[in-house]
Every structure is written in C-alpha cells, then in structure tokens.
Amino acid sequence: MSGNGSSDNVFVLPVVDRYLVYAPLDNLAALVDRAALEHIREGLASSGTNSEGRLGDIVQALRAGVKAGRPAPRPRRGPLRPAFLGLIPTRDCNLACRYCGFLPPGEAREVMDLRLARDAVDWYLDLVAGDKAAGPAEVHFFGGEPFCATEVVDLIYHRARLRAAELGCDVRFETATNGVFDEARCRWVADSLDDVILSLDGPADVQDRQRPRRGGQGTFETVVRSARILSEGRAELSLRACVTAGTEARLPEIATWFCQEFRPVAVCFEPVQPTAEAGAAGLLAPDPWAFARHFVAAARVLEAHGVRAIYAAADIGARRVSFCPIGRDVAIVSPDGTISACYLLRQEWERRGLDLVMGHFESGAAHLSADAIADVRALNVWNKPFCQDCFCKWHCAGGCHVNNVLPAAPGEYGRLCIQTRIITLCNVLQAMGQVELADACLRDDRALAAAVRQPSDRIADVGAA
C-alpha cells in the first residue's frame, strides 16, 4: 500500500443515487454524480489544470493532498514511550456477568503486590518526566473489577500523585468499573479520579439479566445509585452498555433513559462478543445491520442532549494505525508483574496466535524486550492486507487484534466490519450535513448493501466506466 503521494487514500462509496468521495487524511468529503466522479478520477490521474468551478475545487483539493502526500499514521519507533500506564490491581470481580469469560471457574484471583504497584508507578512517571514531548501522565485501572483490590488502587493513586508532584508533571486517572461498591467508595471515585467508564447495560430488566452478582441477585439499584453519584462528581462519566440481539432495538430508548437519569459526557454501545458463556446464556451478538441502524438512531438522541455517542471503530476524528492500546506503546502491568500491550486475558491472545508480552518487573525494575516491543508495534493496519482498500482503515485500523479476525478475501466482511462501515458512512454524511441522505441509505437495503459490500473503496476501483 502506498500511504503518501498517491490516490490510494481517496475513497468512493455509492450512496443511493450519488457517490461519496472521501479523503480521510485530508478531512475532505464530497457528494457527486457519476459524471463528476469520472471527472475527478481523470483529474487525479492527470497533471492538467483545466478543472473549473466547484468540481474543479474538489479536484484541486484532492490533488493538493495527493501531491503533498498527507502524512499517514505510522507505527512508533525507538524506546517504549507509553501513551498511558494500565494497571490491573486484580482479575477478581464481584459480578457474574452472563456473557463474560474474563474469570473462568477456578481461575486464580491474584491481587497485585503493593511493591509491584509502587515500582510500576515510579517507573512510568520517571519515563514521563524524562520525555519533554510527553503530555500529562495517565494511569488507567483495569480488571476484573479494580475495586475488588481497593488497597492496591489507593496506593497507586497516592503514590502517583506524590511522584508526579516531586517530578513536576501532571497525572490523570481513569478507571473502568462495574459500579458495585459502597457509597463512600463511589464518592471517592467521583471526586478523586478524572474519567470513569461505568458499565450499565440498560434499565432493570436488561441490567439484572445480563450483569447479576455472583449469587444471582440483581445489580441495577446499586449501579444506578453509583451512576447518580458519579454524575454529581468532578470525574467525567462515560457509560458503557453491552448490546445483545435482545437489546439492539432498544438503543434509542436506553440512550434517552441515560440522558434523563444521569449526566454522562459519553455513551459507548458495544455489541456482545460471541463467547461460549454468552451463547450458553442465550445472549447472542446483534445482527450487524440492525445494530448499526439502531446505533445511528441512538447517537442522534445522545447528541441532542450534548452527549458523545461512541462506537470507537467508526470515530472519523481518529487517524490511527492501531485501534486499541496495542501499537500505541501502552504498558499494561498485570498482578504477576508482566508488562504487556493488552488488558485481555493472556489465553485470549494466545488463542489467536499472539504474544503481547513486552517485558516484566523483577527486583523492582522493568525489564523490556526491544524485539517484543517491535513485534507488538508491527500489529497495525499497514500489515493488514484485508484493510488496505477500505475507507475506514485510518479510523478503524482493523479493529481489535484479538476479537476481530479479518477474512482473507476482499469484500468478505464479517460482523464487526459491516457495522463499522455502516456507522462510519453515516458519521461522514452527518458531518457533511447530509442527514436526510444518510437516512435514505439506511432505509434502502439495496443501496446500503451496495455501499457496504463493495470489495474495494479506492477511487480507482469504484464506478469505473
């Protein structure tokens, strides 16, 4: 793939009776008819300057981007420079979510040693302080449920603040949590951390079915109480809802309820992963076409309330080589001292043939492997042949390396690709003010399939006479 100085990063999708010309690296988009598309294609291929008017402006803007070779995102190089430090205080959890395979029966519920927590924080903050180009330090808590190990969380928080003050840098804290903790802890989270991602799948019938406690009791009342407390605190609250085939049609309803009851800055709707646990519980992944349509409707509800709607793979504001922490030099420290690029269970990576370990802590020091870091950085969209002709590639970057297994043949889009392509298309059209056209495309099964199913979106391949 050529990333600079060519039209390989100019894409075209048929949209009902028109064509969307899209250059993500230049943040350019235009709607044209078939004749105009041919003119643009010819203009990009030639060196002439005979295009005039609005169509000429489009050609000139696209040609300027092609000529300049707008910088495509590139993998990182050199020493590890963590975008943030991820810490897993424990893999333990106080819930028994019916779709979750994160803590299989009999799995050891190891808790991070306090010395390891201190060493990881000191190592990371020393790196940040020594990097003049680095922004604020960021510490993220993952699990399991991190607040099943509150002593570890507390030590990390206070140690990071102390070291940051000593080194003269700022530090921010983010956590992902199920919100099932007592009121005092919830108020501490609301007033001490900067960003909180709270899992709440929906109203009581949804939440209690999908996310019960270990004994089977519901969690709705407790999590709603937590969401209200978090809405009042200094931390920015984001809600994350797992969507199943039984809840996809309720996304606009759930979005409305979220906005009426709480004060989130963002809401993320994520389709359930098709795990053995989810299948056994009858919680199936939603149909991707239906999920995308309902997500778009829910996103409009959220945006009308000033709340960001998040489906991360379709973020048209992003330009990236990797969708997730992998490839971003994120350092995730597990309770056993392993430093890796992913917070998912190690057996999940290995099932996909991946080794995401970059190093380990030993005797208070971080020991990193340059070869392992290079291998992790190589997991990026430049090395995903299936993605090369897709208009989403600089936004989605191929999705999760563990959960999104890409096909080999062009156009054989799987579930995640289909919904990503639909939502990204609608996001581009809506950013252009073309809401009615986006709706027309969503209503027209044939038109939507024509846009989503085409094997290549490159301008050289679409709609050629």
**Residue ranges per domain, the chain?**
7-73+386-393+416-453, 85-370
Neighbour-count burial of 399, counting CB atoms closer than 10 A to its CB (0-12 exposed, 13-18 middle, 19+ buried): buried
According to the model, what pLDDT value does residue 175 have?
Answer: 98
- Among the ranges given (62-66, 76-80, 299-303), the one the predictor scored with the smallest mean pLDDT: 62-66
Q: Of 83, 69, 75, 161, nearest to 127 (Cα)?
A: 83
Single out the residue of 400, 394, 460 nearest to residue 72, CA to CA: 394
Percentage with pLDDT > 70 across the chain: 94
pLDDT at 289 over 60: yes
In the chain, the amino acid numbered 310 is I
pLDDT of residue 5: 44
Report angle CA 380, 385, 391 to the nearest 5 degrees: 80
Which region among 100-104, 158-162, 393-397, 434-438 has the lowest average model confidence (pLDDT)? 100-104
Question: Which residue is it, tokens 């990182």?
Answer: 76
Biggest CA–CA distance in the chain, Å, is 73
- Output the pLDDT for position 67: 58
Question: Which of the four pLDDT bands, split at 50, 70 and 90, describes residue 2?
Answer: very low
pLDDT of res. 69: 56
Which residue, among 412, 408, 382, 416, has the nearest Cα to 397 in the 3D structure? 382
Q: Is the pLDDT of residue 64 over 90?
A: no
Q: Is the pLDDT of residue 3 over 50?
A: no
Nearest-angstrom CA–CA distance, 70 and 54: 22
Question: Helix, strand or coil for residue 440?
Answer: helix
CA 231 to mean position of chain CA atoms: 23
The C-alpha angle 320, 326, 327, rounded to 5 degrees, equals 50
What pLDDT is recorded for position 129?
Answer: 92
Residue of 35, 449, 433 whose CA lies nearest to 441: 449
What's the rounded mean pLDDT across residues 46-70?
Answer: 69
- The CATH number assigned to the domain with range 85-370 reads 3.20.20.70
- Summary mean pLDDT of the chain: 91
pLDDT of residue 56 exceeding 80: no
The pLDDT of residue 135: 80
Residues 192-217 have a mean pLDDT of 96
Q: How far, in Å, CA of 360 to CA of 216, rounded?
A: 37
Instruction: Determine the average pLDDT of the residues in 228-250.
Output: 97
Please state which of the ranges 59-63, 168-172, 403-407 shows the lowest mean pLDDT. 59-63
Q: What pLDDT band is residue 464 in, cutting at 50, 70 and 90?
A: low
Does the structure show a pLDDT above 50 at 329? yes
Minimum mean pLDDT range among 113-127, 253-267, 287-301, 317-331: 317-331
Q: What is the DSSP string of 16-84?
A: TTEEEEEETTTTEEEEE-HHHHHHHHHHHH-------HHHHHHHHHHHHHHHHTPPPP----SS---S-
The candidate with the shortest Cα–Cα distance to 377, out of 394, 399, 358, is 358
pLDDT band at 326 (very low <50, low <70, confident <90, very high): confident
Output the pLDDT for position 106.
52
- CA–CA separation, 433 vs 415, rounded Å? 28
Q: Mean pLDDT, to the nearest integer, of 184-199?
A: 98
pLDDT for res 4 = 40
- Quick one: CA dihedral 31, 34, 35, 39, positive or negative? positive
Please, which pLDDT band fits residue 6 given cuts at 50, 70 and 90?
low
Cβ contact 286:250 at 8 Å: no
Long-range contacts at 288-293 (CB < 8 A, ≥ 24 apart):
288/415, 288/416, 288/418, 288/419, 288/422, 289/418, 289/419, 289/422, 289/448, 290/248, 290/249, 291/243, 291/248, 291/419, 292/418, 292/419, 292/422, 292/423, 292/426, 293/422, 293/442
Q: What is the mean pLDDT of residues 120-147?
A: 92
More confident site: 461 or 116: 116
